Amino acid sequence: MKQPLHDITVVALEQAVAAPFATRQLADLGARVIKIERPGRGDFARDYDRRTKGLSAYFVWVNRGKESVALDLGTDTDRALLDRFLARADVFIQNLGPGAAGRLGLGCEVLRARHPRLITCDVSGYGAEGPYRDKKAYDLLVQCEAGLVSLTGDVASPARPGISVADIAGGMYAYTGILTALYERERTGEGTALSVSLFDALAEWMGQPYYAEAYGGAPLTRSGARHPSISPYGHYRCGDGGQVFLSVQNDREWVALCERVLRQPALIRDPRFADNPLRRTHDEELTGVIEKHFAAHTADGVVALLDRTGIANARLRTVSEFTDHPQLAARDRWREFGSPAGPLRGLLPPVEVRGREAAMRAVPALGEHTEAVRAEFAEQASSGADASGADQRPAG
């Protein structure tokens, strides 16, 4: 079966993580993604590390299934070629530095005036207005400005989350915004101009901490691997030195934990633990009670007991242990795809569509598709063909 976006062409003037993450989702759905890169160096994410058979783990992660075309947009020839790309494109996405797209004549107003069916998506750090509009924005720095880092880590010091949360948030909102715009265009025939800032995306994800602090009467504090609002919810030591994470979300589960796991039904009526806010207030005392009981058991034994009782739990796995996770193996989630360094293994995208499997095409080498794409669009320029069938002719 054809992929859902098999007839969609995306031109991506992108770098780093946020916009490439969005376009990789589109590529997995079958879209043709033409990735514009600088000759010689390319997307600077190619140089972040060499941990994946000599390739950058970041680049491999977010650039599968794209065509790499190296263009020098400072030359008239390559700039004209980009214009021909855009005349056929359904989507144009860019996350250049502040103001760079406009200086190249690629602002959304200009492009939308020339190509009414084109969907443009600008991904920025802080948005096009306001005092931070020209400020450079990288993932951890946006996390700091959005208040996230103030909530991660332990009491002694803040910590960066282990993944690029701001980039992922911005990329996912760009992806869903583009899908929404494609759906709207099917009804109206018109494209639209989208904009997503990493700061706004992460600000949305900070909603619960905002409401808790703004209306809770006291500032939030860092709680390490404990939940800041729910108790018991976190890691607990067992007799063999292992740790088990568990979560109690409601009074029914609290009663089950007391009666069937801890074998202390009197805790149910203990005034320190009568409801979740009280349990959170007395979390250290409750932790002592739980760990005293767990001290007589191995971590595997505690997990088995929690499973039988219906209490949510987890083991703290390393990345290597995650890679060998039995759930991924049982559901056949791993696939092989190509790269300049040879075959690599990666996970299928999270959304499963019955009867279809995502297109997991190769990670491109820098400029791998330049000559083929130049030849394709040179032929189209000489013939005047517009494969989209729409009036996408540049003005003038």
What is the bridge-based pairing of β-strands 91-94 and 119-124? parallel
Diameter of the chain measured on Cα atoms: 84
Q: Is 92 helix (H, G, I), strand (E, B) or coil?
A: strand
* DSSP symbol at 269: G
Contact at 8 Å (CB) between 123 and 170? yes
The rounded distance, in Å, linking the Cα atoms of 115 and 111 is: 6
Q: Tell me the residue length of the chain.
A: 396
244 in Cβ contact with 302 (< 8 Å): yes
Residues in contact with 275: Cβ distance below 8 Å, sequence separation at least 6, in sequence order? 251
User: Are the C-beta atoms of residues 337 and 344 closer than 8 Å to each other?
Assistant: yes
**Is 6 part of the annotated catalytic residue set?**
no
User: What's the sign of the alpha-carbon dihedral 132, 136, 137, 143?
Assistant: negative
* Catalytic residue chosen out of the listed positions 227, 235, 293, 297: 227
Task: Please give the Cα distance from 338 to 344 (Å, whole number).
Answer: 6
What φ, ψ does residue 388 adopt, rounded to 5°? Answer: -75, -20
Integer angstrom CA distances of residue 51 from 40, 41, 135, 138, 163: 21, 18, 30, 21, 16
Positions annotated as catalytic residues are 227
